[in-house]
Every structure is written in structure tokens, then in C-alpha cells.
Amino acid sequence: MEGTSEKGLWECGRKCTPPPFLLKTYMLVDDPATDDVVSWNSEGTAFVVWQPAEFARDLLPTLFKHSNFSSFVRQLNTYGFRKIATSRWEFFNDRFKKGERELLHEIRRRKAWTSKQQPKAPNQATLQDSDEDQRSSSISSSSGYTTLVDENKRLKKENGVLNSELTSMKRKCKELLDLVAKYSSHAKEEKEDERPMLFGVRLDVQGEREMKRHRAEMSESASIMLSQSCK
């Protein structure tokens, strides 16, 4: 007798408690903060996903641990929801209404009919919900991995372009250094005493000597600066 009573209480609790999927969906639809993405229709008899992309990206992961809109729609279908508009994602179930959350426990998951029905465990519906969430989570993880791989490829390509530009700049800088070194070497050769001679005696031309010295100093300074900037 006691066992029968406990079984009856368990059956009542299971039937009176809405499936987690329905509760989570109701919470998303009933939240006024997200009405621009998903909300009830004007009569409160169905709900509309106004922005499917934003709904999948921003709202689904908060409660369902995945971002797959198609998976969400398949779940709705298994609970008897149907799309009632061609121009928008509007879903209807006669027991899914605004302000009537107590009706959710009356919504039942559709059974998958086969040629030979197999006995089901009492908690199979909950297990099926869990399996669906796991598959959706796996799909989401795969999508995230693909995004990371693509981002890594893009960064490698950009890095290659930067390395090519850096190599080109180093080559041009080296060419400029070689040119300065050549000019500096030529200037040093000119530093030899080239004063004009008169009767075998060299004349001291102060202005020309100062000009050559100044030119040599400028050449040496330019060479040092270029060498430091090209490191």
C-alpha cells in the first residue's frame, strides 16, 4: 500500500511539473527586457522570434547551453508547437499562453512511433531533453572551434604580410647605409691634404678645410643615426 502511494505521488509530481525546455522557453518569451528579439504576439496566444540570429547568439546560450536555432525549432515541434506565419517565426501551442504558465504541465512531448513500441523508462523524457542539449552543445563547440581555426589562419596571413614588409624595409635601410658608408669613405679620402702648392709650398686655405671637416662630421652622424634606426 505504501509503495503504491509513493508511486502515485511520484507520478503526480512528474505530471504536474513542466519539462525544463518549456519552462526555459516561457522565461525567454515572457521577459520584457528581450521583447525586441522575442515576445508574445499581440493577443498573447503565441510567441514570435523577431530576430532569429540575435536570439540564437545572445539568448539561447543563457539557458540552453547552445546557440543552434534549428535545434530549438526541432524541440518546439516535438512538444506540438507549429509555425503559424509565413513571414515571421511565430509559434503556437494552445497551452502555451501569456499569463497562463500553469498550463505548461499539460503539454506533452510527442512519442516517436515505430513499427514496434518499446517500453520506456519513467524519466525518458528528461533524458531525451538532456541528450538534445548535449548534441546542441557539441554542435556549438564544433562551431566555436571552426571560428578559432579561421581566426588563427587570418592572423598567420597578416603576420606573413608584416614580415614581408619588415624584410623589405630592412633591405632598403641596408642599401641606404651602404650609400652613406660609401659617401663617408669618399669624404675621408678627400681629407688628405689637397692644399694648392705655390713654388713647392702648400697654401693654407682655411675655408675649404673647414667645409671638408664639417661635411665629414655630418656624414659620420648620419651613418650612426641610420645604423641605430635600422636595428
Cα–Cα distance between 211 and 177 in angstroms, integer?
A: 23
Residue 99 phi, psi dihedral angles, 5° rounding: 75, 5
Look up residue 82 and give its DSSP letter: E
Mean pLDDT of 107-130: 59
Report whether 44 contacts 96 (CB < 8 A): no
Report whether 177 contacts 230 (CB < 8 A): yes
> Mind listing the pLDDT tens digit for each residue in 42-82?
999 999 999 999 999 999 999 988 899 999 999 999 999 99
Look up residue 56 and give its DSSP letter: I
| Of residues 69 and 216, more confidently modeled | 69
Cα–Cα distance between 48 and 92 in angstroms, integer?
A: 9
Q: What is the pTM of this model?
A: 0.45
pLDDT band at residue 208 under the 50/70/90 scheme: low
Cβ density class 182-192: b for 16+ within 10 Å, e for less: ebbeebeeeee
> Mind listing the pLDDT tens digit for each residue in 135-193?
655 555 555 667 777 777 888 888 888 888 888 888 888 888 888 777 767 666 655 55
The whole-angstrom distance between residue 173's C-alpha and the CA centroid of its chain comes to 39
Cα angle, residue 19 at apex, residues 17 and 21 outer, rounded to 5°: 145
List beta partners, residue 47: 40, 91
Q: What's residue 130's pLDDT?
A: 58
| CATH 2.60.15.10 for domain 2-109 | no
Look up residue 194 and give its DSSP letter: -
* Helix (H) or strand (E) segment spanning residue 142: helix 124-190
Cα–Cα distance between 75 and 112 in angstroms, integer?
A: 13
